[in-house]
Amino acid sequence: MSATCLKPAWPHFALRIHHSLRPRARNLPSHSRLSLRTSPFQRCLLSSSSHPPKRRRLLTLAIESSCDDTCVTILEKDAGPGGAAHFRFDEKITFANVLFRGVHPILALELHTRSLATMVHKAMRALPHASEPQTGEAGDGNRDAGASGGGDMVWVDGEPRRKPDFVTVTRGPGMRSNLTIGLNTAKGLAVAWDVPLLGVNHMQAHALTSRLVSALEAGEGGGQQRLAEEKGGEGIPGPTPEFPFLSLLVSGGHSMLALSRSLNDHATLATSRNIAVGDLLDKCGRLLVPPAMIAAAGDTVVYGALLEQFAFPRGAADYEYAPPPTRRDEIKTFDSGFGWKLYPPLSETVDMFYEFAGLRGQVQKILREQGSMNDEEHRLLARHVMRIAFEQLAGRLMLALSQDAEKKGDGDKSLRDIRTLAVAGGVACNRYMMHILRSMLDIRGFSHIGIVSPPSPLCTDNAGMIAWTGMEMYEAGWQSELDIDPIRKWPLDPKENGGILGVRGWRNTRHD
Ligand code: AMP
Ligand code: ZN
């Protein structure tokens, strides 16, 4: 078994899409992901003695091991609302899946076992040196949150370093054995360091990732934030998007549309009744992308990403996309002219489900019945299966928005005031999907809804989003008991068994 170390170049901008698909105009300066340098915002905080309340910096080490990626992050955040965030360390190793044409659960488990402790050890060398200035006066309301003074150090390679304030780990949903490795490592660290443990929800973390991006941006210059800080901390904007917003979570294991009303309240609006959209794209990638292109991609293959590259070699220049102006247009059969057709699933119903297994079945049937097909025909099939899948995602969004408009926006799932759709999960890397979402929102009268999406390394599974969720939960007073266990299925919606807070093992230090 071999593993590939993925250290993607860090794009310091959030992909924010409004009327057209375009990266944010302001590309923030790049720096090493392991850099220990202080950002301009940090320097500003540290140097000016006239600065009113200096804010303590919270530090967490976070672990993600729910599937086949082993990820560790050290994230630092200025305590309090609107606090800027910085990565001290962020690394990921993905299981080499090409031999198995996908995730191999047992070998992925082996990868976690072999890599995690080593990665944690490496991360500890990126903890702030104990001599680095650290402000300590501003409380954040969490009585366990104190982290200054000589006792709050760990020794790494003979050097004194700042001890994390708490340890964050993915508790679920995911593969139970894989989660257990991360969870037990995190428990060991929390016990050894005598700091709180936070076992967080992986899907909640995807939903909050755009808020992490806004905090990272604040750390990279954050003009607005700095001005507010200089005025004594008043009116400091919190992370964006602010609640409520819509979350479209699309990954290899999940497809869901939720109304994110607050940190722990994400009401389900639509969900998949079988496989996830990322799973469909991966399976179609294996069937349609030419073997030579797969071989050239190396050991670690994201088949869904290859499918997009194969379908649109010139990117947006190849789209030729006309959004369906009505639902009737959206559910039209596609006739290829080569003797095969594609039927959009769920055309008979407006139930709030996604159906991707049927679409995969149609592709398999076409390939079986058509016999040999050349690359051009494969490409046509790839384009249209993606179009139909993404229009289904967009179509359920339109239904949610228009049904709500009919209800005049009352009820507890009101979308009337929604201005932002936050898209996250690995499939959010797909530019064609983002183009379809934007185009359909515009043509159906929802151009006032902006789309935000994190940069690719934060869309796919990563420990940065886990660390951020830990930060938000910790600052809200939440901590986990040490006896928490992994959770294979863990809903976000409070109406489904209490959702995020419905599982045992949470305690709130503010209520104690
Ligand atoms: P996650 O489960 O969040 O780690 O995301 C992995 C999923 O993202 C896989 O199913 C991939 O197929 C999908 N994915 C990653 N990049 C892309 C892309 N550019 N286009 C489509 N899907 C992608
Ligand atoms: Zn995920």
d(CA 385, CA 388): 5
Interval between CA 204 and ligand 2 midpoint (Å)? 10
Average pLDDT value over all residues in the chain: 84
Interval between CA 302 and ligand 1 midpoint (Å)? 7
Interval between CA 279 and ligand 1 midpoint (Å)? 8
> What is the rounded average pLDDT of the residues 392-414?
78
Interval between CA 430 and ligand 2 midpoint (Å)? 15
Residue 277 alpha carbon, nearest atom of ligand 1: 10
Sign of CA pseudo-dihedral 261, 263, 268, 271: positive
Pairing state of beta strands 353-354 and 153-156?
unpaired
What confidence score (pLDDT) does residue 276 get?
A: 96
Q: Select the more confidently predicted residue: 474 or 230.
A: 474
d(CA 163, CA 194): 10
d(CA 49, CA 236): 20
Long-range contacts at 147-154 (CB < 8 A, ≥ 24 apart): 147/56, 147/58, 147/59, 148/56, 154/124, 154/127, 154/193
Interval between CA 249 and ligand 2 midpoint (Å)? 9
Sign of CA pseudo-dihedral 168, 170, 176, 181: negative
**pLDDT, tens only, 96-110:** 666 666 667 788 888
**pLDDT, tens only, 10-29:** 333 333 333 322 223 223 22
CA proximity to 182, closest of 193, 167, 195, 192: 167
What confidence score (pLDDT) does residue 221 get?
A: 62
Residue 308 alpha carbon, nearest atom of ligand 1: 20
Sign of CA pseudo-dihedral 121, 482, 251, 60: negative
Q: Rounded to 5 degrees, what angle do the CA atoms 345, 430, 360 make?
A: 30
Interval between CA 77 and ligand 1 midpoint (Å)? 28
Q: For residue 141, what are its two tokens?
A: 């309301």
Interval between CA 305 and ligand 1 midpoint (Å)? 6
Q: Which residues surround ligand 2, an ion (CB under 5 A)?
A: 251, 461
Residue 456 alpha carbon, nearest atom of ligand 1: 16
What confidence score (pLDDT) does residue 13 get?
A: 32
**pLDDT, tens only, 366-376:** 999 998 899 99
d(CA 216, CA 76): 10
Pocket test for ligand 1, best of 281, 301, 432, 459 (most atoms within 8 A of CB): 281
Q: What is the pTM of this model?
A: 0.86
What confidence score (pLDDT) does residue 39 get?
A: 31
Helix axis angle for 431-443 and 375-406, nearest 10°, is 40
> Could you tell me the maximum CA-CA distance found in the chain, to the nearest angstrom?
75
278 lines ligand 1 (CB under 6 A): yes
Pocket test for ligand 1, best of 15, 250, 294, 302 (most atoms within 8 A of CB): 302
247 lines ligand 1 (CB under 6 A): no
355 lines ligand 1 (CB under 6 A): no
427 lines ligand 1 (CB under 6 A): yes
